[in-house]
Structure 1
Amino acid sequence: MHRELTHHKLHQTLKLRAHGARLPPGPKTAKTGLAKPWLYFRELSAQYGDVVSVPGLSSNPTIVLGSARAAWDLLERRGAVYSSRPRFVVGGELLSGGMRGLMAPYGDFLAPLAQAAPLGLHAAPERRLESAVLVRDLLKDPGCFREHLERYAASVIVLVTYGRRVTDVASDEVVRRNVEAMGRLTSVNIPGKYAAERYPALKYIPAMFAPWKAEVLKQRQKDIQLYMDLLNDIKDKVARGVATPCFTTHLLEEQGALGILPTPLARRSVQTAGTLASFFLACVKFGHNFIPRAQEELDRIVGRDRLPAFEDMEELEYVRAIASETFRWRPVAVLGGTPHASTADDVYNGMFIPKGSTIIAPLWTIHLNEKDFPEPHEFKPERFLEQRDFPGTLGHTAFGWGRRICPGAHLGAASVNLNIARILWAFNVTPAKDETGQDIDVDIFAFTDGFNSSPLPFPCSILPRSQYHAEVVRRTHEEAVNELKVFDSSR
């Protein structure tokens, strides 16, 4: 192994000399095994600049991008070179058997997903109906708002992917097993966590001598069983003529590519629920600065007799700015999603990026870059009402870049926009009170570890703006439930 590493370093040195350039600056050694590596990456970018070389995280060079401009220039403008994936020894090979589209190299394997995604992820009127259920759940039991967000996000994704609803997160077997699968996936994909990423030969150690490998292989079998059960359920419904059109029925009928299904189901559910939880956190901490203006806009454009609809969003400029600031302020995909890999040698601003490099663009660094977002930890929707020199059209990069942009970006953005509009239309969200009647402060830095990061539990007060608003919520919920009966999982 030492001989292979020495040869690899010699090969890189020869390529550097041939290009007349040096690797990007960076530390001589990297910190590994960190629970929150995105905090470390931000420190590195502050010290070394927008493009940093970090040794020792994998068997190939690792390049960390610290600005939106650098990420845009490489991952978007030079997408032909930077759209593949690095080798994921633990998550991609041991856990996923090379069949998870999220980690697959760019190429023909992803074509069925790219063709089916617009059908499965863009055309989803069920979002409107499930949103009505969410708002009513918040009205009925506001103390369990996190559970309601998780149920909503899970149900939308399961509806779109498998054509069935989720009515209770705690009792739904699919959700429970999916959460377990996603938890394992996000935990193994933390850069530098496993020595096998730096020394791939370790994957061949028998599981009986490597507890970490035994755990991963056990989860792989659970994942296979979960998605076979879901597939068999769909096939049964198709045979009985009661299947509702969804992502999976389309792939069964047209593509025959079922190995790429697991990730969209798990990932987008977690990110949507986490983003909406961050919105509530922002309401508690900063709501007095933005909620009154948002509610004035909603009352003026939507009125009091109905919930906001998708058709209203174009006119709800300030509400859209709140959603954009939520994506920016506390991105769930703190590491920028799944890393990219370069497929050819490249030179950027005089820095050499070798073929096969792992490229990480952590959103915790990019979205909190003070050059683009002054006072980055403040929640200021007004940022998105101003003209700014920021690459792209969204003003943030929460959904990734280029050819590997999240296929559920449209679904996720539309869901967050609509729910923020409806929550602000229906409720006053304020700090919870302690036993003395004082506001309970919240910690805007208390977030989970892992590949995706969401707020840790926090209290808040969610009260209807008026009894009239509450009655509109109840009426809309009743109408939505009737329309959703076609998706009853017992069919």
Structure 2
Amino acid sequence: MISERLLDYLALVKVQTAVGDFGTANVLLAVLAIVATAVAADYAHMLYMRSRMPPGPFPLPIIGNTFLLPDHKPWIYFEELSKKYKTPLITFWIGRNPTVWINDAWCAQELFEKKAQIYASRPRMVVFGELGTGQSNLVTMRILNNADRDHWRIHRKLMHLGVGTQTVRGYRQIQNNESKLVALEFLREPKEYVKHLERYATSVVSIIAFGRRVASFNDPIITEVIALMQLAAELNVPGKKFPMLLETFPFLARFPSFMPWFRGLGGRNTKGGHYFFHTLAQEAVEQYDRKPPSEQAAMPTPYVKTLFDESKKYNLPPNELSSLTGNLFGAGSDTSSSTLVTFVLACCAFPQTMNKAQAELDSVIGHSRSPHWDDSPQLPYINAFVKEVLRWRSVAIIGGQPHSPTQDDTYNGWLIPAGSWVQGNVWAIHHNEREFPDPDRFYPDRYLDGNDHKRPFPGDKGYMTFGWGRRVCSGQALAEQGTWITVARLLWAFTIQKAKDPTTGKDIEVDIFAYTNGLNMRPQPFKCDIFPRSEELRQSVIREGEQALNDLQVHDGESKYRMSTFYQKEKMKLAEEPVLDEMGNIKIVKVK
């Protein structure tokens, strides 16, 4: 009797288990079916969009073309794709998001300039935007509605107060004196030419922004800011490794910041960093206000004082003021110094162009004084030389941040969807044989009338180094002005050539393709020899440099803040830990 009941019970359990297993299996199958259907529907939509968009590699579900990306210099890969498909536009899918790459100057002009209002927005950017500055920064600010547009216009107006086309003419004396000082530094310590150029570029924007010059290349703010800018540049290049893989799998950005895929962000997703430049700005305003009226009259009003006064009309919070100051200070120092290092490389690799430039300078200027902007109309080859520096190895090699149309657009019958990434490939544009024959040759003559290399190019500048339309680099006028005076002065004063091997006495070759991989690319380190062209020029450099140093004394000063220690203190303020109170209960307190 007992055994029969036991057998009946075991049979019942077996039936219930089978039913349960069948139910669980059905649930799992249903879930898988839903997921598969969603993926299939999403993929069908991708393929439909692909059929209407510019040609490009065939995307896979979910991951798109991400894993086709090369490890280095993807702009060359996109140039090759453009040639393969014989089209100025190509579509490349980063995950489920299409990026349209423009590889042609006339196409960039048609879309970014003639349709500037449509292409004034930014796409969703997970790494550089959401995990960085988001909507609080002019560089990454999206324009999705009228409120966004008004907000962006306020930021652009405030930035133009500092570096607008008319404003920067008032900075000529600063740039002139600092470039004279660079020449003196080249004379005294030529092997440290990169550090001198970084100090120069950082000091110019520091004077403009804060009213305070940077006197030594050993100042930590130079290395810290330039390192930050170079990290930011790396976080703008499409990639198939973390953290850039977050653009392919954006849901991973919702996880806590200690997850391993956030490594390499350099603390960009910590709140403390946003306020560093605001703190510097407050300090600068206080220092300026303490100066006697005679000293204030002898120097331009620091941009941060103008910024603070004007921003009161708009109630801008500290993080937005910080971003405006940081954009000017950080980007101006890194891009300008990188451009000038490229100039030095060009002199080493193509000495005949340097010799021709120096012949023109000797004829027009002589050796008793250095060039000035007023000499520009009499220096056509120098003007062409500076244009070629800006074209040959443009710093912002993919044209800065991506644009994004605010509505669906078409080009040659192809769809460019609203919200998509649209990126200008400056490398491809500046290396198109149609506009620039023998593009890797540094050849200023291509900009001179009557030369067989001169070709039509949209716009009047002959290059697209600073971007396009309403998102063109705000500091373009300042950068062009500073590049001209510094290149002209260094050409006037120095012979810049390949270094000699101390053992063999032969030239140490330079590699014109050895550049970094970030958005703002610069030459990899290389050695060169720099020396004055004559004794008279050496004396002129010393005389002008010492006078410039005297004129710049009004901007002497120091900051008590350093980026690294500031971040550490802010992290401590933000940090929390559990402790026991007097009653034995756990509570959360800020770490002291």
Offset at 1:471? 0.7
Q: Does 1:304 align with 2:372?
A: no
Secondary structure of 1:277's counterpart equals helix
Offset at 1:249? 1.2
Q: Deviations over 1:161-203 (max 9, x none)?
A: 2221111233x23323312321331122112452321232221
CA contact (8 A) 2:131 2:269 kept: no
Offset at 1:137? 0.5
Offset at 1:54? 3.2
Bigger-Rg structure (1/2): 2
CA contact (8 A) 2:121 2:142 kept: yes
Going from structure 1 to structure 2, the CA distance change for 1:14 and 1:190 (only over 3 Å counts) comes to closer
* More off after superposition, 375-384 vs 100-109: 100-109
Q: Deviations over 1:311-342 (max 9, x none)?
A: 11232110010111111111111112111111
Matches within 5 A, 1:38-187: 38-57=75-94, 59-106=96-143, 107-121=149-163, 122=168, 123-125=170-172, 126-170=174-218, 172-187=219-234
Q: Does 1:480 align with 2:548?
A: yes
Secondary structure of 1:473's counterpart equals helix
Q: Deviations over 1:261-318 (max 9, x none)?
A: 3222212211111111111111111112x12221121122222211111211232110
> Within 1, Cα distance between the matches of 2:264 and 2:108?
36
Offset at 1:412? 0.6
Secondary structure of 1:342's counterpart equals coil
Partner of 1:399: 466
* One-letter code aligned to 1:228: H
Q: Does 1:28 align with 2:58?
A: yes
Percent of pairs identical after alignment? 35
Pick the aligned partner of 2:483 from 416, 432, 457: 416
Q: Does 1:253 align with 2:309?
A: yes
* More off after superposition, 392-401 vs 88-97: 88-97
> Within 2, Cα distance between the matches of 1:388 and 1:131?
32
Count, aligned residues: 485
Offset at 1:430? 1.7
> Within 1, Cα distance between the matches of 2:39 and 2:209?
44
* One-letter code aligned to 1:383: R
* One-letter code aligned to 1:131: S
> Within 2, Cα distance between the matches of 1:395 and 1:45?
22
CA contact (8 A) 1:96 1:220 kept: no
CA contact (8 A) 1:181 1:223 kept: no
CA contact (8 A) 2:395 2:521 kept: yes
Going from structure 1 to structure 2, the CA distance change for 1:6 and 1:474 (only over 3 Å counts) comes to farther
> Within 2, Cα distance between the matches of 1:268 and 1:241?
26
Q: Deviations over 1:115-145 (max 9, x none)?
A: 2344422231311110011111111111111
Matches within 5 A, 1:284-303: 284-288=348-352, 290-303=353-366
Going from structure 1 to structure 2, the CA distance change for 1:383 and 1:4 (only over 3 Å counts) comes to farther
Going from structure 1 to structure 2, the CA distance change for 1:7 and 1:159 (only over 3 Å counts) comes to farther
Going from structure 1 to structure 2, the CA distance change for 1:379 and 1:284 (only over 3 Å counts) comes to same
> Within 1, Cα distance between the matches of 2:270 and 2:427?
30
CA contact (8 A) 1:60 1:356 kept: no
Kindly report the root-mean-square deviation, in angstroms, between the aligned alpha carbons of the 2 structures.
2.3
Which of structures 1 and 2 has the larger relative contact order (alpha carbons within 8 angstroms, sep 6+)?
A: 1
* More off after superposition, 248-257 vs 425-434: 248-257
Q: Deviations over 1:343-383 (max 9, x none)?
A: 11111112111111101111111111111111111111011
CA contact (8 A) 2:95 2:249 kept: yes
Secondary structure of 1:469's counterpart equals helix
- TM-score normalized by structure 1? 0.92
Which ranges in structure 2 are unaligned for 5 or more consecutive residues?
1-34, 60-64, 144-148, 560-592
CA contact (8 A) 1:207 1:214 kept: no
Pick the aligned partner of 1:456 from 515, 524, 547: 524
